[in-house]
Structure 1
Amino acid sequence: MALALYRKYRPARFADVVGQEHVTEPLGTALAAGRINHAYLFSGPRGCGKTSSARILARSLNCDRGPTPDPCGTCPSCIALAPEGPGSIDVVELDAASHGGVDDARELRDRAFYAPAESRYRVFIVDEAHMVTTQGFNALLKIVEEPPEHLVFVFATTEPDKVLPTIRSRTHHYPFRLIPPGTLRALLERICTEEGVVVAPAVYPLVIRAGGGSARDSLSVLDQLLAGAGEEGVTYERAVALLGVTDVGLIDDLVDGLAAGDHAAVYEAVDRLVEAGHDPRRFAADLLQRLRDLTLLQAVPEAASQGLVEAADDELARMVEQAAKLGPATLSRYGEIVHDGLTEMRGATAPRLLLELLCARMLLPAASTTDVGLLERLERMERRMAIASGESSPAPGDAASAEEPPAPGRRRFVRPAAAAAGGGAGPEAPGRAAPTGKPAGRSPERTEHDRAPAAASTAEGAAEPDHGRQLPRSASPAADGARPGMPAPAASRSGAPGAALDAATVRRVWPEVLTATKQRKMRTHALLVTATVRAVVDDTLVLDAGTAALARLLSEQSNLEIIAEALHAVLGVRWRVRCEFGDGEPVAPAPAQVRNPPPRRPNRPEPVRGEEFRRPPADDVPPPFEPPAEEPPPDDEEAMMAEAAAEPPGEPVSRRDPEEAAIELLSSELGARAIDPR
């Protein structure tokens, strides 16, 4: 019968324990200095070296050279306590999982008082110490607190919190940890070399993942693979089929389909997964591991060289390409969906259905309303804008639109050569200031003629009109073919500043337009931040609003003026602005709200101090007050609006409460402040 690898390669010295240097080095120093405690507590995950370290400690204490951190291995005690040795009568190993009662503890306590038969110390190793009952710990409490000079207790447990606090406080606690993947891979490669078996490099990550950081579990998995290896050694295909892990090709196909938004490729990968007999739950766990690797590769490009990601070279190359296609917000959202899906798959009767629903959630960004989903949409918009900028970028040989360099934060837009040669755009008039990178705020002294559109240029290619010169009041903005309050179209289609601008160009500078709008009016900026650029038709910018209500608000004349001014400040164009929603029909602006002026409180004279109750003369008594008859209410809402507009500021007498009017008149006659009876 072949000896298992985890028994054959069990460490015999502290130097052979891998991945636990934080425990073995202090123990070795204490043994070399002779500072030996009467009780130790070794805690940590399963298969990380707790029981082996306890046996090494007993071997080091009873060595003829001891106590020493390096047993000689030749004395009778070292030979008896070797990993393949018969054992010693002075070293008792007790499994508390089956001997944790009070009777077993009492028996162990009675045996503890006997002196060692042939060794220096008697060592009691209590494995799975958390399984000892409270009564059993209480029976051992006195002997653990004050043991004989020749007695040493070693408690090994995976759950130190379940050990009785009074016992735990009387021990030296050494916590063991899981072995890092790099250290564990070096151990596996060394064992395979000693065994003389060829193992494919892609098999080691599968073994390490199956072992979960435990040396014993990893060696058990490797032992199973070595037992079924053929003449060619342990291949990747054999390991995948034997361990039941997901094929990397299926994960690659699924991730590529998610990155490309190909629904057919994603569901085809799920179908091939089920047809191959793989477990959907295991596939979801492997997919979550892949998403974790992609996140690390995107955040840390040197993750593979630093040991953060364990994979073969060809697989790493594919993962780098996949990380470049997906943004961090997308990967984060995918990870959250898969993680939640793994919780839902526990005990599910239809795991394939749940896996397909997970894929549907990942393929539908609109299903997520969290900040991560919004960030993912922003990343997709940025990628589209980057692609659009690469396609519609101006040619390097085109003529520049201005002689001076652009201001900081301002982009230079190149005019087409044909438009520049046509002479349609002449030099600007002296009264017009050149646009700068920082848009100027609205001046309170600005007249309506400043906001009116400029007159169209003549056919002979005259220069643009002087926008700084005020037009006469009789001039009508509609004579230029523009709506009131809207900027006029450019002088000519060939030489206008916006002739070479399209929707993609406006989208690239849209953040600058939003900034210019914010500097002018915050309300317009708040409404415009959710709108998108739909198209540029001639000299009109068409915006797509998210909702019909938002489109109506943006279609207000004041908001359209602010947007047109921001476009002129950033792009130097005089465009109209139109807001649409849904099928592209223009939306009428919201009706203006007529607000009645706030009621004006009556002016009541301050009373003279000390004369509040002085009666007026009899001749000055006013006649009885007769309230005026109330006018009938208007028939419709338009009449009410007209009446409200025609009334002077202040509250009309016809709508005043008669009781309040009487109180006001009486107060003015008496010269004292009347008290409201209500």
Structure 2
Amino acid sequence: MDAPLALYRRYRPETFAEVIGQEHVTEPLRHALSANRVHHAYLFSGPRGCGKTTSARILARALNCEQAPVAEPCGECRSCRDLARGGPGSIDVIEIDAASHGGVDDARDLRERAFFAPVNSRYKVYIIDEAHMVSPQGFNALLKLVEEPPPHLKFIFATTEPDKVIGTIRSRTHHYPFRLVPPKVLGDYLMELCEREGVKLEPNALPLVVRAGAGSVRDTLSVLDQLLGGAGSDGVTYDLSVQLLGYTPDALLDEAIDAFAAGDGGTVFGVVDKVIESGQDPRRFAEDLLQRLRDLVIVAAVPDALTTGLLEVPGDRAERLRGQAAGFGPAELTRAADIVNTALVDFRGATAPRLLLEIMCARILVPGADHGALGFSARLDRLERRIGIDGAPAPVVETVEATSSPDPEVLSTSSRTEEAVEPEQHTVVEPVETTPEPEAELTEQPTGDLGIADVRRLWPGVLDAVKNISRYTWVMLSQNAQVVSRDGETLTIALVNAGARDSFVSKGSGDHLRQALGEVLGVSWRIEAIVDPSADPSRDQTPAEAPAPKTSGVKAPEAVHEAMAKKSSPAEREDPDAAAHPDDPVVDTGDDDPEQLLSRELGARVIGDD
């Protein structure tokens, strides 16, 4: 008993209605046939195994049908029987393989024989397969014939590379591009064929067969034919498909994905070891991992993808995908897929595939080593997942008065918004945070409303930005200032004494701080500078009447600021020692030049802002 033909030959379509996934081609051809408006030359292009040659045979069969013009061949006349599946063929339909007959001599021989009338049919049809293999000289020899053929002659060129067909030939044909068949259409077709063959195909195995065929009907049927040949009484099972097609088992992919989500490097590299020890191809494992990450990216972005048919997976696997997607942030999944996709390029010609696979896994595990946008987003996803919230916490801040009894010079935050305040009077508040600050310092740009605790937590980053703008402002803020409160669009900064406060204002340090806050926090707050009463409550909080001393670029300590402030007060000019602090150094106040004062008392050298 002879062995049956291959599946793709046993089920080769005989009519345009049987061609799957190419309706954009078959429908216009059927309309042209029924209306008797058929062109003399056609160019069918597209990926291999998508029905180009089959459609050319169907077109030739319909053209020579005795009932023509018809959209579908009748299947009963002599021409239809000769060109049917398994038929002897027709002497008037000539198929030429241009891969072996594409030279100029073959073209001249074709040109000489083409002028003879058909023997039994209406048309003589030349089907030239692999047309891109015809040499330029061969195409030139056919050019006049293709341009002005005799009435009985039809040409059908089939090729996977239409760009290699010279333009003069392409311009004289009607071009129909074929496409890869969609997975769902191909999957339904495979289930139908398995029913005809009487073989059971497990739902878990069907996606593997479709994926192996890569959209080509002929390649997919070849894969299914192999599985049918090796199937036992249980039919085509998932385990059989995985073993014969070389795919990574789902259990191993699940183990790898769960380990990546947990940051478990030991398990990840254990999976790599299993892949190598079991003889699997590292590149194939990376391809399967990328396919799984792609599914997870879609599930994370479209929660109902599994119910709306966007992803075609069995029910038990759908639940696993939902659980695995919940273990990652969207940026983590995107970054991991990008890393695997890049690694697949490096696998080509690699001499150490295991090393490349391990490096790929290490990069996925360590988002902190990636300084790009994806790495930043992945670290943010991981941080948010660890603290269990969607954003940075905004602590509730209460403001209380600094003194136990009302003081007309010190106002609470609420009274400042309701009563008029003289310009030289400032609010003094002490923030009481009801939520603890996180232990880890963050330098990512926050989102949402910022409380005073958030500002203090991000203050080191603000100081770094200030340092790049003005070193004088950075010195002033880092040594002599602290954040007091935030009221609406106003941020209050307390400096150690009136001299420091006046220098801060006169040097434009508030503008520098506002610029840094915009760069780091993305805000445009007004800066209010006050004297910190906690340094010495007995000191006057009113601004100095004299202009601020010239101390640009100098790291001035508290004692020097206090000495300069004493020089600026009219009352203290009369009695310099009246309000002297016991710890103040003895300073010669007769020197009106602050630069000489700093040089003499501290040995400092004055430099510019730059």
TM category, shorter: 0.7 to 0.9
The Cα offsets for residues 461-493 of structure 1, whole Å up to 9 and x where unpaired, read as xxxxxx5xxxxxxxxxxxxxxxxxxx66x7xxx
Paired with 2:324 and 2:473, the residues of 1 have a C-alpha distance of 41
**Distance change (3 Å), C-alpha of 1:29 and 1:506:** same
TM-score (norm 1): 0.66
Paired with 1:48 and 1:388, the residues of 2 have a C-alpha distance of 48
Paired with 1:85 and 1:18, the residues of 2 have a C-alpha distance of 22
Q: Please state if 1:558 is matched with 2:480.
A: no
Paired with 1:554 and 1:270, the residues of 2 have a C-alpha distance of 54
Paired with 1:510 and 1:250, the residues of 2 have a C-alpha distance of 38
User: What is the DSSP-based 3-state SS (H/G/I as helix, E as strand, rest coil) of the residue aligned with 2:388?
Assistant: helix
Identity, % of aligned pairs? 50
Paired with 1:450 and 1:414, the residues of 2 have a C-alpha distance of 18
Please give the root-mean-square deviation of Cα atoms over the aligned residues, in Å: 4.2
User: What is the DSSP-based 3-state SS (H/G/I as helix, E as strand, rest coil) of the residue aligned with 2:95?
Assistant: strand
Aligned counterpart for 1:81 among listed residues 80, 83, 90? 83
Aligned counterpart for 1:260 among listed residues 259, 262, 266? 262
User: What is the DSSP-based 3-state SS (H/G/I as helix, E as strand, rest coil) of the residue aligned with 1:286?
Assistant: helix
Structure 2 match to 1:638: 599
Paired with 2:10 and 2:240, the residues of 1 have a C-alpha distance of 24
Contact kept? 1:389, 1:504, Cα under 8 Å: no
Contact kept? 2:93, 2:127, Cα under 8 Å: yes
**Distance change (3 Å), C-alpha of 1:575 and 1:382:** farther
User: What is the DSSP-based 3-state SS (H/G/I as helix, E as strand, rest coil) of the residue aligned with 1:321?
Assistant: helix
**Distance change (3 Å), C-alpha of 1:563 and 1:314:** farther
Paired with 2:246 and 2:105, the residues of 1 have a C-alpha distance of 45
Contact kept? 2:259, 2:265, Cα under 8 Å: yes
Paired with 2:41 and 2:476, the residues of 1 have a C-alpha distance of 85
For residue 565 of structure 1, report the CA deviation from its aligned partner: 2.9
Contact kept? 2:62, 2:70, Cα under 8 Å: yes
For residue 274 of structure 1, report the CA deviation from its aligned partner: 1.3
Paired with 1:78 and 1:326, the residues of 2 have a C-alpha distance of 59
**Distance change (3 Å), C-alpha of 1:213 and 1:126:** same
User: What is the DSSP-based 3-state SS (H/G/I as helix, E as strand, rest coil) of the residue aligned with 1:104?
Assistant: helix
Aligned counterpart for 1:335 among listed residues 331, 337, 340? 337
For residue 445 of structure 1, report the CA deviation from its aligned partner: 6.6
Structure 1 match to 2:372: 370
**Distance change (3 Å), C-alpha of 1:414 and 1:256:** farther
Q: Please state if 1:347 is matched with 2:349.
A: yes
Aligned counterpart for 1:450 among listed residues 415, 418, 426? 426
Moved more, 354-363 or 558-567: 558-567
Aligned counterpart for 2:230 among listed residues 228, 231, 249? 228
Paired with 1:556 and 1:194, the residues of 2 have a C-alpha distance of 84
Q: Which residues in structure 2 correspond to 1:86-97 (within 5 Å)?
A: 86-97=88-99
Paired with 1:132 and 1:341, the residues of 2 have a C-alpha distance of 38
The Cα offsets for residues 157-201 of structure 1, whole Å up to 9 and x where unpaired, read as 000000010000000000000000010001000000111101110
Q: Which residues in structure 2 correspond to 1:496-511 (within 5 Å)?
A: 497-498=432-433, 500-504=434-438
Paired with 1:146 and 1:376, the residues of 2 have a C-alpha distance of 64
User: What is the DSSP-based 3-state SS (H/G/I as helix, E as strand, rest coil) of the residue aligned with 2:219?
Assistant: helix
Structure 2 match to 1:528: 459
Structure 2 match to 1:384: 386
Q: Which residues in structure 2 correspond to 1:465-476 (within 5 Å)?
A: 467=428
Paired with 1:199 and 1:512, the residues of 2 have a C-alpha distance of 53
Contact kept? 2:413, 2:487, Cα under 8 Å: no
Paired with 1:560 and 1:301, the residues of 2 have a C-alpha distance of 52
Structure 1 match to 2:206: 204
For residue 530 of structure 1, report the CA deviation from its aligned partner: 3.7
User: What is the DSSP-based 3-state SS (H/G/I as helix, E as strand, rest coil) of the residue aligned with 2:306?
Assistant: coil
Residue-pair matches, total:
504
For residue 307 of structure 1, report the CA deviation from its aligned partner: 3.9
**Distance change (3 Å), C-alpha of 1:389 and 1:87:** closer
Structure 2 match to 1:594: 554
Q: Which residues in structure 2 correspond to 1:86-125 (within 5 Å)?
A: 86-125=88-127
**Distance change (3 Å), C-alpha of 1:315 and 1:429:** farther
User: What is the DSSP-based 3-state SS (H/G/I as helix, E as strand, rest coil) of the residue aligned with 1:156?
Assistant: strand
Paired with 1:576 and 1:315, the residues of 2 have a C-alpha distance of 62
Aligned counterpart for 2:133 among listed residues 131, 155, 162? 131
Paired with 2:55 and 2:363, the residues of 1 have a C-alpha distance of 49
Aligned counterpart for 2:241 among listed residues 234, 239, 242? 239
User: What is the DSSP-based 3-state SS (H/G/I as helix, E as strand, rest coil) of the residue aligned with 1:564?
Assistant: strand
Aligned counterpart for 2:277 among listed residues 275, 278, 297? 275
For residue 505 of structure 1, report the CA deviation from its aligned partner: 11
Paired with 1:60 and 1:444, the residues of 2 have a C-alpha distance of 97
The Cα offsets for residues 192-214 of structure 1, whole Å up to 9 and x where unpaired, read as 01111011101111011110000
For residue 301 of structure 1, report the CA deviation from its aligned partner: 2.0
Contact kept? 2:45, 2:178, Cα under 8 Å: yes
Paired with 1:25 and 1:159, the residues of 2 have a C-alpha distance of 23
**Distance change (3 Å), C-alpha of 1:640 and 1:216:** farther
Paired with 1:638 and 1:289, the residues of 2 have a C-alpha distance of 70
Paired with 1:130 and 1:142, the residues of 2 have a C-alpha distance of 18
The Cα offsets for residues 86-128 of structure 1, whole Å up to 9 and x where unpaired, read as 1000000000011111111111111110101000111000000
Structure 2 match to 1:616: none
Contact kept? 1:294, 1:323, Cα under 8 Å: yes
**Distance change (3 Å), C-alpha of 1:373 and 1:389:** closer
Q: Please state if 1:56 is matched with 2:58.
A: yes
Q: Which amino acid aligns with 2:426?
A: D
Q: Which amino acid aligns with 2:167?
A: P
- Greater C-alpha Rg: 1
Paired with 2:405 and 2:449, the residues of 1 have a C-alpha distance of 25
Contact kept? 1:23, 1:176, Cα under 8 Å: yes
Q: Which amino acid aligns with 1:223?
A: D
Paired with 1:504 and 1:146, the residues of 2 have a C-alpha distance of 83
**Distance change (3 Å), C-alpha of 1:142 and 1:575:** same
Aligned counterpart for 2:196 among listed residues 194, 197, 210? 194
User: What is the DSSP-based 3-state SS (H/G/I as helix, E as strand, rest coil) of the residue aligned with 2:259?
Assistant: helix
Contact kept? 2:467, 2:473, Cα under 8 Å: no
Paired with 1:342 and 1:90, the residues of 2 have a C-alpha distance of 49
Structure 2 match to 1:626: none
The Cα offsets for residues 507-564 of structure 1, whole Å up to 9 and x where unpaired, read as 999756758799xxxxx99983847xxxxxxxxxxx9x899999x9998553688762
The Cα offsets for residues 615-652 of structure 1, whole Å up to 9 and x where unpaired, read as xxxxxxxxxxxxxxxxxxx999834988999xxxxxxx
Q: Please state if 1:19 is matched with 2:21.
A: yes
User: What is the DSSP-based 3-state SS (H/G/I as helix, E as strand, rest coil) of the residue aligned with 2:116?
Assistant: coil
User: What is the DSSP-based 3-state SS (H/G/I as helix, E as strand, rest coil) of the residue aligned with 2:94?
Assistant: strand
Structure 1 match to 2:155: 153
Contact kept? 1:527, 1:554, Cα under 8 Å: no
For residue 304 of structure 1, report the CA deviation from its aligned partner: 2.9
**Distance change (3 Å), C-alpha of 1:501 and 1:31:** same
Paired with 1:143 and 1:76, the residues of 2 have a C-alpha distance of 28
